[in-house]
Amino acid sequence: MTQIPIAKETIDRIAAANKIQNPGKASIREMRKMIQDVEKETGVRFVKMEMGIPGLPAPQVGVQAQIEALKSGVASIYPEIYGTADFKKEAARFVKNFLDIDVTPDCCVPTVGSMQAGFASFLTLTRYDAKKTKVLFIDPGFPVQKQQCRVLGIPMKAFDVYEYRGDKLRDKLEEELKDGDVACMIFSSPNNPAWFCFTDHELQIIGEMANKYGVVVMEDSAYFLMDFRKDYSVPGKAPFQPTVAKYTDLYVIMISGSKSFSYAGERIAMMICSPKLFNMECPDLARYSPSSSAPSTASPAAPPTACSTPWPPCSRAPTTAPSTSSRTSVSTARRPAS
Ligand SMILES: Cc1ncc(COP(=O)(O)O)c(C=O)c1O
């Protein structure tokens, strides 16, 4: 389509006012702001498809519980950073019921949306072993996650899995992981926007490769239980939602409340760490822990310096190394200093 019912000059002016050089390459958020301005100026309404807003009413049981919680005064108190005991117990029960995996309540951490879970995971997982600094994206995935890595200065690798379904995935993962510098790999199933799901065989391949190369798998379950190949909806009864957790003990599962509970506005999610990862001893994390005292064999702390994408610049001056300890774990790294 070459003609739209709005003058090109108007679009160009509004794009320029929003500092957008090429609307065709604008990010979702830039585009949203620009369209808001176009609507305001012209009165022409747009059908917006840039975000998958669930739009279904949030379940009444949740809304009611939230009202009660607010009435009881929770708004004025900082929440327990580690998650309240009730939540952690229920989260562990939830994943047992729907994924058939066994984790202790300790391994279940509430987050402010999956976005925060992703941010915290990228930050931690690319630092817990000084030799492993990269993130491998098995696309298609959530573009914001790449942006998070850019902002954090984390080097990335990515491939579109479309060409590597089934057994081809094994060879591709070998190729991507063989250098031994990938800390974690991330995928989403079902994914946005292609909406296909990994088969159990493919999840098994991902798990095997994770075990072989010591890579943590981040399973982005933004569309939890929206895999409709089978009916996974009955708690505690097979079939269960397929998960990579069946094939590796190095995983983080991010379960968003946005879509499956229609709670997008509340920014709620949970992060389920495998017990092995949660309890892992990570001396290299001591580089970032001011409360550590014992020396570590890790090299001085320096954030990752190179990334394959040009913007924003990733190189930074190395930070001074804080004191170190040999007992810092992935889990204690998130706890407040006592
Ligand atoms: C694949 C994927 N991951 C993560 C997210 C973010 O989820 P949340 O709203 O919990 O931050 C989205 C949101 O659209 C998504 O599509």
Check pLDDT > 90 for residue 311.
no
> What burial class does residue 191 get, using C-beta atoms within 10 Å of its C-beta: 0-12 exposed, 13-18 middle, 19+ buried?
buried
Highest mean pLDDT among 36-50, 263-277, 314-328: 263-277
Average pLDDT, the chain: 87
State the Cα–Cα distance between residues 323 and 133, nearest whole angstrom. 21
- Indicate which residue's Cα is closest to atom 12 of ligand 1: 222
Q: If you measure from the C-alpha of residue 256 to the centroid of ligand 1, how many angstroms do you get, rounded to a whole number?
A: 7
Q: What's the confidence (pLDDT) of residue 328? A: 54
Closest CA to 205 of 243, 166, 176, 242: 166
Span 255-293, pLDDT tens digits = 999 999 999 999 999 999 999 999 999 999 999 987 765
pTM (2 decimals)? 0.83
56 or 107, which is more confident: 107
State the Cα–Cα distance between residues 16 and 22, nearest whole angstrom. 9
CB 181 within 8 A of CB 131: yes
Q: Indicate which atom in ligand 1 lies nearest the CA of residue 220.
A: 3
- Percent with pLDDT over 90 in the chain: 74
295 lines ligand 1 (CB under 6 A): no
CB 48 within 8 A of CB 31: no
221 lines ligand 1 (CB under 6 A): no
Residue whose pair of structure tokens reads 């991010």 in the numeric block:
254
Span 242-253, pLDDT tens digits = 999 999 999 999
